[in-house]
Structure 1
Amino acid sequence: MALTFQSTSPLGIPQILCQSILLFLKAGQLLLPIFLLSVLSSSILFSFYYSIAPIPLDLADKISILLKETKHRPPNLLPSIVNDLKSFSAFASVIALFSFLSSLFLSLSSIHTFAAAYTDTDLTPNGLLHRIARRWYETMVTRLYAVFLAVGIALLSSFAIASVALVSLPYSIFLAFHVTFLYLYLSTRWRMSLVIATVEETWGIGALSWAVNLCLGNKKRGVALTAMMVTMKVAIYGALLIGLLMASDPTKQTWMGCVVAVVDAAWNLYTMAVYTVFYYECRKSHGLDIIGSSVVLVRVNAVAY
């Protein structure tokens, strides 16, 4: 039975979520190796997090001892703190690099797969690898722009909220609420730019600018979708933390980590499917035509016969 995604009226949040599920069915066997790679990536990341977790906890204890006014400090406390900082920086750098590269590859492969499924385009494994090889640099640069923007805004907003909290706690809560909404909106645009850089010819600043245009008139749907995706992501990591704290047996902790890794991998792919559907929905809301697996930046109403 063929699955169709053509609709003339704008889709609501439930319809977008349902169509994203249908993309999994339509993607077929091409999605299975991507899912397995996603599970492997999540498992490696969770093992990294689990191995690095004792370092910041030990570092916090040592810093608290250093800040206390006592004459009974260990003589080698400061060098130990420096060594912990070096170890944590080295581990964190490896984790960040692996997370960025694996996320980039999985994003490229899943977006191309879901875009082909959405537009009824035949895509073979060799064709998928060819598309990844053709667009990896442009998508990587676009993702780096988004990462730098996210880090910069996070630092500025944290400084602003902390400064306001010194004067008035209610105002800091009010500011934090608006900053959260702003982050959800900007995150929607950044994730949209990743889809744009993958399936279109524009990238970098051009993809970020095009995402702004496509989000016009679609802000509420986009923010709602991003809020749902982020909330579920936080719930997955929260479940892992609770499970690790409750399960004292290492075997149970391992099984808990495996289950959460599978759920996290599936949710990452589903998130890509959601933003792929939302991207095409935004195009249709602006009257832009979709032809095959590529997109043509022409308004339908401007074509006359």
Structure 2
Amino acid sequence: MTASSSDPLGVLQILWEALQLPAKAGAFFLPLLLLHLLSYSFLSLSAYCIAPLVLDVVAKLSPLFKSPLPLLPSLPSLFRDIESDLRIIARVASLAALVFFFASLFLLVATFYTFTTTYVGQSISLKQLLLRISRRWYKTLVTRLYVLLLTLGLALLSALAIAALTLSSDPPNLSPRYGGPFFIFLIFLYLYLSTRWRMSLAIAVAEETWGIGALSMSVVLFIDNKKRGTLLTLVLKAVQIAIFGAFAAAMAAASAGPPPPPEDQLKMWAGVAAASAVWELYAMAVYTVFYYECRKSHGLEQVKSGDAWGFIYTSLPSAAAVV
């Protein structure tokens, strides 16, 4: 099935179309893949570097929760050591997070633009790609910050709701009778909202709208597409959790015996970085296909421009968007 088909694609068909999309990207796919691998490797290496310091802080804090407490004269020295470790962790983590945030931002714009043009059968040059990045990176940044704030807001409201449910009983306890359904509700609410938020990033790259406009457009496009979008995000998140779960299990197995040599530890960190990078690239392809499926479901079909066929890029709603 091609992008010009008027038949709606199912979840498995969207996943299959997305699987073929990177190969259709041609010469741009390999550089994008290498840059994604480099970006995630940098993040993984930073985490590997601060992991011993984090474990050291945990080891230093553990005596404070035991009885009897450490001798009073040793406490100031202990607190100074903890403060020193936390300062180092904060410096390294903040620098790594900042570099990764902006690297992933430019890669997000480049990847979504490459996939969106590839999906409609348009060819682009390196100059066009760089021009699109220069024009859309700031607008995509604003959209991404909105998504980050909304995600933090959802996490805060969820934490407050869980605390309210826990404190409503005497003694404070989160009953499985209410806690189980509530957690399931939170999971599906996150999947539902996360799908719209991820699609708003594709919109910020492909359309002329951004920020609140991209978020509003994702709400409109998501109408009648909730089930497909939520199931797609469920699949993507499940595999992502499996990747980190396998990494955590490997680390736990390694720590159970003699400490593995640093080379083996680096291989495990490099493995999870590579798997995460590849899966994130595939996730962008999935949301690209889903974005166009949402457009088609709202009557935003292909229009002819000169001798070529392609999707129009306009904001919703507008008279020009419905041809």
TM-score over 0.5 (shorter chain): yes
Q: Does 1:254 align with 2:261?
A: no
Partner secondary structure for residue 7 of structure 1: coil
Question: Take 1:174 and 1:61, find their aligned partners in 2: how far apart are those partners?
Answer: 36
Conserved in 2, the CA contact under 8 Å of 1:111 and 1:272?
yes
Q: Does 1:147 align with 2:148?
A: yes
Question: Take 2:110 and 2:245, find their aligned partners in 1: how far apart are those partners?
Answer: 28
- Sort the Cα spacing of 1:144 and 1:5 in 2 relative to 1 into closer, same or farther, 3 A: same
- Sort the Cα spacing of 1:71 and 1:37 in 2 relative to 1 into closer, same or farther, 3 A: closer
Aligned match of 2:249: 242
Aligned match of 2:161: 160
Question: Take 2:17 and 2:320, find their aligned partners in 1: how far apart are those partners?
Answer: 23
Q: Does 1:52 align with 2:53?
A: no
Question: Take 1:100 and 1:219, find their aligned partners in 2: how far apart are those partners?
Answer: 29
TM-score (normalizing by structure 1): 0.91
Task: Return the letter of the residue paired with 1:286.
Answer: H
Aligned match of 2:306: none
- Sort the Cα spacing of 1:98 and 1:294 in 2 relative to 1 into closer, same or farther, 3 A: farther
Deviation at 1:102, TM superposition (A): 1.8
- Sort the Cα spacing of 1:127 and 1:293 in 2 relative to 1 into closer, same or farther, 3 A: farther
Deviation at 1:300, TM superposition (A): 9.9
Q: Does 1:169 align with 2:175?
A: yes
* Deviations 1:74-131, CA, capped at 9 Å, x for gaps: 3312222322332222222123212211221111111011001111111111111111
Deviation at 1:59, TM superposition (A): 2.2
Aligned match of 1:122: 123
**Residue from 283, 287, 295 that aligns with 2:313:** 295
Aligned match of 1:23: 21
Give unpaired runs (5+ residues) of structure 1: none
Conserved in 1, the CA contact under 8 Å of 2:222 and 2:294?
yes
Give unpaired runs (5+ residues) of structure 2: 167-171, 255-259, 304-309
Tell which deviates more after alignment, 67-76 or 156-165. Answer: 67-76
Matches within 5 A, 1:96-107: 96-107=97-108
Aligned match of 1:8: 6
**Residue from 266, 273, 276 that aligns with 2:285:** 273
Task: Return the letter of the residue paired with 1:24.
Answer: P
Task: Return the letter of the residue paired with 2:138.
Answer: Y
Question: Take 1:71 and 1:28, find their aligned partners in 2: how far apart are those partners?
Answer: 63
Matches within 5 A, 1:48-87: 48-73=46-71, 74-75=74-75, 76-87=77-88
Deviation at 1:302, TM superposition (A): 6.1
Task: Return the letter of the residue paired with 2:174.
Answer: S
Deviation at 1:231, TM superposition (A): 1.4
* Structural RMSD (CA): 2.2
Deviation at 1:293, TM superposition (A): 5.7
Share of identical aligned residues, percent?
47
